[in-house]
């Protein structure tokens, strides 16, 4: 049995197979709903069910509380229709017709960037390329059927290898394997690209990038794309980390500064070590943005990092005048350590 989903206000319609989520069916039908984690944690896919019934698969209760469900809100990445439904959702303007593909990839290079961060470079089969937009992510397909998502750190024009930045989650099955056992030339299966966190190039507004930790990865891809196409937009990069060692590619932003006079880089440490001898900015990275700029009504913001950082930035930036539709985010989420 299948059900029909109607998106309002666009009026677009698509079919959902039994047991399939609204988001998965939308992706398969090439409709572009906003989403991020696809596991019920980040809240990027939240929208309203106007008619019909859905049941939710497992999700983080704080992302969709019961009071929100009672008003018709749903997480489309977890919502499985139990009837024909009508949903209210802002569709993403374009993804250039790119559809996810499943393909094998060989580990070409493993580079330790910090004690707990590795850059993984993947090589696709000969004559294959993964078409994607700057900022999107891929998912590894594990042998037990689980998936692990990681953002692409390279720009679309630099697609000979796929670059990922992986932070070690102690006790995590997948990241433990990557950090302690994975060897170059290993073969992995992946699917992608995914995600509505990508660069909107139809705007000339100045851009604020706010990265937390390895949230720097997709933002790196976006900035390198902007430099490649010769964008004249003003770019402000705020990279937040705990200590100096966590700014795991410290030289790279300086090369961007040398190449583009419209770019500014502001690193912010929340807990610098005494041995860091840090003379730069300290505190929360979102607060540094507010302290520097105040009124954000004329900006566009891309934020990537831990959910609490993204949520705090979203709320405080909108309170400072940022239009709600000019905030784009990808909140990194992790599986429980026993399954990660």
What tens digit of pLDDT does each residue of 21-58 get? 999 898 888 787 888 778 787 788 899 999 999 999 98
Mean pLDDT, residues 54-77 = 90
Query: Residue 316: pLDDT above 60?
Result: yes
- Residue limits of CATH 2.40.30.10 in the chain: 101-194
- CATH fit for domain 101-194, picks 2.40.30.10, 3.30.1600.10, 2.60.40.10, 3.40.309.10: 2.40.30.10
Q: Which fold has domain 207-331?
A: Rossmann fold (3.40.50)
Question: How is residue 183 annotated by DSSP?
Answer: -
Query: Residue 174: pLDDT above 90?
Result: no
Query: Residue 95: pLDDT above 70?
Result: no
Residue 338: its pLDDT value, please? 40
Rounded Cα distance, 218 and 41, in Å: 19
Per-residue exposure over 236-247, b if at least 16 CB sit within 10 Å of its own CB, e if not: bbbbbbeebbbb
Residue 1: its pLDDT value, please? 83
Number of Cβ within 10 Å of residue 282's Cβ equals 12
Give the pLDDT band of residue 336 (cuts 50, 70, 90).
very low
Tokens of 62: 């704080």
Residue 15: its pLDDT value, please? 95
Going by their DSSP bridges, the two strands 162-167 and 101-114 should be labelled as: unpaired
Rounded Cα distance, 227 and 225, in Å: 5
Superfamily assignment of 2-88 in CATH? Beta-grasp domain (3.10.20.30)
Average pLDDT, the chain: 91
Residue 337: its pLDDT value, please? 40
- Residue limits of CATH 3.10.20.30 in the chain: 2-88
Give the pLDDT band of residue 340 (cuts 50, 70, 90).
very low
Rounded Cα distance, 222 and 166, in Å: 18
Phi, psi of 105 (to 5 degrees): -145, 145
Q: What is the pLDDT of residues 124-157, one digit of tens each?
A: 998 888 999 999 999 999 988 888 999 999 999 9
Mean pLDDT, residues 230-257 = 96
Mean pLDDT, residues 14-26 = 93
Decide if 98 contacts 45 (C-beta within 8 A). Answer: no
- Percent of residues, the chain, with pLDDT higher than 90: 76
């Amino acid at each position: 049995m299948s059900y029909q989903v109607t998106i309002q206000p666009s009026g677009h319609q698509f079919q959902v197979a039994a047991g399939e989520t609204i988001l998965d069916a939308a992706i398969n039908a090439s409709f572009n709903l906003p989403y991020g984690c696809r596991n019920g944690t980040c809240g990027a896919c939240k929208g309203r069910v106007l008619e019909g019934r859905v049941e939710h698969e497992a999700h983080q209760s704080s992302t969709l509380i019961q009071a929100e469900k009672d008003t018709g809100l749903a997480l489309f990445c977890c919502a499985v229709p139990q009837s024909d439904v009508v949903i209210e959702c802002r569709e993403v303007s374009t993804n250039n017709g790119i559809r996810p593909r499943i393909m094998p990839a060989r580990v070409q290079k493993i580079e330790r960037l910090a004690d707990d961060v590795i850059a993984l470079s993947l090589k696709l089969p000969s004559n294959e390329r993964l078409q994607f937009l700057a900022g999107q992510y891929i998912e590894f397909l594990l042998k037990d059927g689980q998936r692990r998502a990681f953002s692409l750190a390279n720009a679309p024009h630099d697609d000979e290898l796929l670059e990922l930045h992986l932070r070690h989650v102690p006790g995590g099955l997948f990241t433990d394997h990557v950090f302690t056992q994975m060897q170059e030339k290993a073969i992995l299966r992946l699917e992608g690209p995914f995600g509505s966190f990508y660069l909107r190039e139809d705007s000339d507004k100045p851009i604020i990038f706010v990265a937390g930790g390895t949230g720097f990865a997709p933002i790196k891809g976006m900035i390198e794309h902007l430099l490649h196409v010769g964008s004249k937009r003003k770019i402000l990069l705020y990279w937040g980390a705990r200590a100096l060692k966590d700014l795991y590619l410290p030289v790279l932003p300086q090369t961007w500064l040398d190449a583009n006079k419209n770019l500014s880089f502001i690193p912010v440490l929340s807990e610098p070590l005494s041995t860091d001898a840090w003379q730069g900015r300290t505190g929360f990275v979102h607060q540094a943005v507010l302290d520097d700029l105040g009124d954000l009504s004329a900006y566009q913001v891309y934020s990537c990092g831990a959910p609490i950082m993204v949520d705090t930035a979203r709320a405080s930036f909108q309170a400072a005048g940022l239009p709600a539709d000019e905030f784009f985010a990808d909140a990194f989420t992790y599986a429980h350590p026993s399954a990660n």
